[in-house]
Amino acid sequence: MLRRADPNGGFRMTKRINAKYKIDRRLGENIWGRPKSPVNRRSYAPGEHGQRRQGKPSDYGLQLRAKQKLKGYYGNLTEKQFKACYKEAVRVKGDTGENLIGLLERRLDAVVYRSKVVPTVFAARQFVNHGHVSVNGKKTNIGSYRVKIGDLIEVHEKSRTIPMVIQSLESQERDIPDYIDFDQTKFMISMKKIPNLDDVPYPVQMEPNLVIEFYSR
């Protein structure tokens, strides 16, 4: 029996959308700034006790929440992946919090997301995993690949006509940040500089300093 071709190049968005909104609801914040987030309708946690008055969180609670928010923003990274970024941020010279942000933004899936080629960071990871991009002429399907200044990321020609890609580029929901260069004619993406916290267009306040405190306990 023949299977119908998927116009989105094999992407199954429903499960990812549900996962994304689950993170929003758990944190009580619209961390990606999406207009359809359930948090736009109610800001309390899910469940029958979600509207209970919350006590003042402890320092540990604030640190844990900051970690969950930042980790969730990048597609709900595993603890192992996120902690590896933290360890690298500590090892590199400079402010550890700023280093952490720079390392997260240099992930290949994050760079693809910032270019607006795909609508969500979850879709960006799938897009990379499914082999839709090359880095410096070499097919790269690892979302955690660390992009360097000068790397040229190209979206494969057949992937440029996927409806999801076309719709994402036409969307006015977000802008491409200054540290990302995207040539829409050639579908080439590059990173102009490693961003600081203030450069990154987070829709909500991220607190990498609290993340560092969490792991430094």
Tens-digit pLDDT profile for residues 41-56? 555 555 555 555 566 8
Q: What is the pLDDT of residue 52?
A: 57
Of 15 and 55, more confident: 55
pLDDT of 19 higher than 50 = yes
b/e 19-41 (16+ beta carbons within 10 angstroms → b): ebbebbbebbbbbbebeebebee
Domain interval for residue 132: 108-193
Question: How far is 21 from 24, CA to CA, in rounded Å?
Answer: 5
HEC assignment per residue over 87-142? HHHHHCCCCHHHHHHHHHHCEHHHHHHHCCCCCCHHHHHHHHHCCCEEECCEECCC
Residue 128 lies inside a defined structural domain of this protein: yes
What is the tens place of the pLDDT at every residue in 136-160?
A: 999 999 999 999 999 999 999 999 9
Q: Does a structural domain hold residue 35?
A: no
User: Does residue 175 form part of some domain?
Assistant: yes
Calculate the CA 25 to chain-centre distance. 17
In a domain, 162, yes or no: yes
pLDDT at 56: 81
Tally of domains within the chain: 1
**Domain membership flag for residue 69:** no
Instruction: Tell whether 41 is covered by a domain.
Output: no
* pLDDT interval class at 26 (50, 70, 90): low
Tell me which residue of 132, 122, 155 sits closest to 22, measured CA to CA.
Answer: 122
Closest CA to 188 of 144, 129, 131, 133: 133
pLDDT of residue 29: 76
Furthest CA-CA distance within the chain: 59
Q: Tens digit of pLDDT for each residue in 155-209? A: 999 999 999 999 999 999 899 999 999 999 999 999 999 999 999 999 999 999 9
Q: pLDDT by residue (tens digit) across 60-114?
A: 999 999 999 999 999 879 999 999 999 999 999 999 999 999 999 999 999 999 9
Beta bridge partner(s), residue 191: 180
Residue 209 exposed, middle or buried by CB count within 10 Å (0-12, 13-18, 19+): middle
Instruction: Kindly report the CATH number assigned to the domain that includes residue 144.
Output: 3.10.290.10
Identify whether 171 is part of a domain: yes
Residue 15 pLDDT > 50, yes or no?
Answer: no
For residue 170, tell me if it sits in a domain. Answer: yes
